[in-house]
């Protein structure tokens, strides 16, 4: 692929000739990797069928790819590994974790694929939960824990059961007496809510970002139309009626 080779040459030249790129290390780039990942999530939250949002999506994927290529280039300069070795490692991992594709082992559903995936990953661990990265944001961690639990049938059967559990946890929060009890129940509500999002096949981070964007758009409408005689509830209703978002 000439395009990919050209891109590698550009990144290599940046490391040689650009004062900013030359100074970067794995550590200094870490914050940019996080920022680019979240910018990509922001675009995903706004993604629709328009060319504009898909162009933004394309650009953000490129920005994230640049971070990966920079890390690989720095590692290559110190003779640790090259981007080609990164690609080769990924190829081996994909083939190993997909025997149903590359070894003619038939699996009929995505649930069976996930269960097989966890069994393969467990080879060097005592539990399928041992590889959970506790440094991930709590929402991501909870989502991943629940998906792993599903592979050992520790999960509700369907959306309705998960929703009933959420309602039950909300009722327990309402009935909690002490501050500590309320905090504990709030955590259970969060966990149950994430479980509901899993059954809806909705990424909780992206759905929350969408809601935040909508809230900000409607709050700006209230802000722009607010005066001493304003009825906040009426302004908010107008914002909702007009389907105002960010």
What pLDDT does residue 74 have? Answer: 97
Residue % of the chain over a pLDDT of 70 = 98
Average of per-residue pLDDT values in the chain: 90
Per-residue pLDDT for 122 more than 80?
no
Q: Which helix (H) or strand (E) holds 116?
A: helix 110-121
Per-residue pLDDT for 246 more than 60?
no
Each residue's pLDDT tens digit, 126-170: 888 888 887 888 888 998 899 889 888 899 999 999 999 999 999
Per-residue pLDDT for 11 more than 80?
yes
CATH of 2-96 among 1.10.287.1080, 1.10.600.10, 3.20.20.70, 3.20.20.100: 1.10.287.1080
Distance CA 12, CA 81 (A): 14
What pLDDT does residue 175 have? Answer: 97
Lowest mean pLDDT among 93-107, 149-163, 192-206: 93-107
Read off the tokens for 46. Answer: 């706004």
Phi, psi of 195 (to 5 degrees): -65, -40
Read off the tokens for 49. Answer: 């069928």
Band (103; pLDDT cuts 50, 70, 90): confident
Band (73; pLDDT cuts 50, 70, 90): very high
Lowest mean pLDDT among 10-24, 32-46, 178-192: 32-46
Distance CA 176, CA 189 (A): 12
Per-residue pLDDT for 244 more than 70?
no
Q: Where in the chain is the domain with CATH 1.10.287.1080?
A: 2-96
Q: What count of Cα atoms within 13 Å lies in the side-chain half-sphere of residue 233?
A: 0
Closest listed residue to residue 193, CA positions, set 121, 144, 245, 139? 139
Residue 103 or 58, more confident: 58
Closest listed residue to residue 41, CA positions, set 183, 218, 238, 212? 212
Distance CA 103, CA 94 (A): 12
């Amino acid at each position: 692929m000439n395009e990919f080779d050209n891109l590698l040459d550009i990144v290599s030249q940046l490391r040689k000739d650009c004062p900013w790129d030359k100074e970067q290390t794995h550590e200094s780039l870490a914050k940019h990797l996080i920022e680019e990942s979240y910018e990509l999530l922001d675009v995903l939250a706004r993604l629709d069928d328009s060319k504009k949002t898909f162009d933004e999506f394309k650009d953000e994927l490129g920005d994230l790819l640049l971070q990966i290529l920079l890390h690989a280039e720095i590692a290559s300069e110190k003779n640790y590994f090259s981007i080609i070795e990164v690609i080769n490692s990924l190829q081996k991992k994909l083939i190993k974790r997909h025997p149903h594709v590359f070894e003619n082992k038939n699996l009929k559903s995505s649930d069976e694929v996930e269960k097989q995936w966890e069994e393969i990953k467990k080879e060097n661990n005592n539990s399928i939960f041992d590889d959970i990265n506790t440094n991930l944001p709590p929402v991501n961690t909870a989502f991943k824990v629940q998906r792993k639990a599903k592979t050992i049938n520790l999960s509700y059967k369907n959306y309705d059961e998960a929703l009933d559990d959420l309602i039950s946890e909300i009722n327990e929060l309402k009935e909690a007496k002490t501050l500590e009890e309320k905090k504990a129940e709030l955590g259970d509500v969060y966990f149950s809510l994430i479980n509901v999002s899993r059954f809806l096949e909705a990424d909780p981070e992206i759905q929350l970002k969408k809601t935040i964007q909508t809230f900000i758009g409607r709050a700006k409408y209230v802000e722009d139309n607010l005066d001493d005689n304003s009825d906040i509830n009426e302004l908010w209703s107008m914002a909702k009626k007009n389907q105002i978002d960010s």
